[in-house]
Structure 1
Amino acid sequence: MPQNNQFFVFEGIDGSGKTTVSRLVSEALLKKSFPNLWHREPTDSVYGKKIREFLEGKIKLNKEEQIDIFIKDREVSVNEVILPTLKNGKSIVQDRYYFSTAAYQGRDEEHAADILYKNEDKGFPEPNRIYFLDLSPEEAHERRIARSGAKEVFDVDSEQTRIYQNYLAILPESTIFVDATAELEEVVAFCVEDILKSLEG
């Protein structure tokens, strides 16, 4: 993959701010004339819509069904968005990738690792950089209460603790841990600077 178009992924538990941060990072890069596309998973495909129904508690899916539908949605994401965008010379700044599926759907650390391998076996492209917005489950709980909104199936403290521990177990050593308790502007500036270093080689 050429250095001027790379694949950057933002991960974190609910409330860590990864959607906001990744969007702002994408916008900042555009202002600095680095072409990129902000992308998120789940997508708006039929599979992505079903995932959202599950997350909102409208339908029930067991663990294996969850893993299956996330992988099907990711195949759409990779084939219709990620690979074509990279091929066209643009970078991708993405909110969630297969590390999320492993962390959220994994019953424990070992199961999370199995899910990760299942995604890697599909040949999905590896990101150039992974940014983990590090926020403890306790701090994330406070943020989720503050932002209110509809509760989702994983919006339970014990679930967020499990997810956080799974993340720590499966994220690659090269993952960049970002202090998500810092000011938003600082977090964005740090990530933008790091991405620019990577893009400029």
Structure 2
Amino acid sequence: MSIPMPAVAASGRHTGMFVAFEGGDGAGKSTQVRLLAAALERAGRAVLVTRQPGGTALGAQVRDLVLHGDHVSPRAEALLYAADKAHHVDTVIVPALARGEIVVTDRYVDSSIAYQGAGRDLGGEEITALQRWAVDGLLPDLTIVLDVSPGTGRERRGAVEDRLEAEGDDFHAAVREHFLALAAADPAHYLVVDAQLPPEEIHHRVVAAIESAWAPGVATATRVPL
């Protein structure tokens, strides 16, 4: 397999590539992030792996507050996630993309849109506007949604759950539906994969999607086999 490395990304804002993994809790995002990063590194690409929240020192504190701390009101939760993303993008993601690196993140703006907008019922449009302002409009070149049912996600997570994971099936069903709606609205920049497929099969589909992620006519450098 090979992957195109553009001189100018489809977004027009950087020379690297920005890939986000999204999906419900228990979907297997961490596994797929690890597999993709390893494949890219074997191909000689410079890769930055990160996550949200938690990809910075500030993000680690936010993560502890929103996932493991005492009760946080829904609006405060949304604002904390937005603050984490603003700092994360400015200090980690944008500099890496400017260096031409491939950034692979475990969660990005769609998680907040789905969890706080739909799950917390704060409104998808409102949370979308907040998140996009926080990241200064920087969106992934490709978002992979690992689709998992609430029941399967719960079985995979086991007994140990954080504040969001511990929410009921209705909450997680709303989150899942919103992820799928986001993907359906912009199929050129999304890949939806059944999270119950074998991990290697999911990985192959991810790599194939990355290979075709760049818009026609975008200048590309050498294609590096994965």
TM-score (norm 2): 0.79
* Cα separation, partners in 2 of 1:139 and 1:173, compared to 1, 3 Å: same
CA distance in 2, matches of 1:28, 1:184: 14
Output aligned runs, 1:47-196, within 5 Å: 47-56=59-68, 58-107=69-118, 111-122=123-134, 123-145=136-158, 148=159, 150-155=160-165, 156=167, 157-171=169-183, 172-174=185-187, 175-196=190-211
Per-residue deviation, 1:20:
1.5
Amino acid at match of 2:80: I
CA distances 1:152-180 after superposition (whole Å, capped 9, x unpaired): 11223232112112323334422210121
Alignment gaps of 5+ in structure 1: none
* Cα separation, partners in 2 of 1:133 and 1:55, compared to 1, 3 Å: same
* Cα separation, partners in 2 of 1:107 and 1:197, compared to 1, 3 Å: closer
Amino acid at match of 1:179: D
Amino acid at match of 1:61: V
- SS of 1:198 mapped into structure 2: coil
Per-residue deviation, 1:110:
7.2
Percent sequence identity is 26
Amino acid at match of 1:117: A
CA distance in 1, matches of 2:118, 2:204: 35
Of 2, 8, 26, the residue aligned with 2:8 is 2
TM-score (norm 1): 0.87
Alignment gaps of 5+ in structure 2: 1-6, 10-14, 215-219, 222-226
Moved more, 150-159 or 190-199: 190-199
Of 36, 58, 61, the residue aligned with 1:46 is 58
Per-residue deviation, 1:132:
0.3
Tell whether the 8 Å contact from 1:133 to 1:179 is kept in structure 2 after alignment. Answer: yes
More helix by share: 1
- SS of 1:93 mapped into structure 2: strand
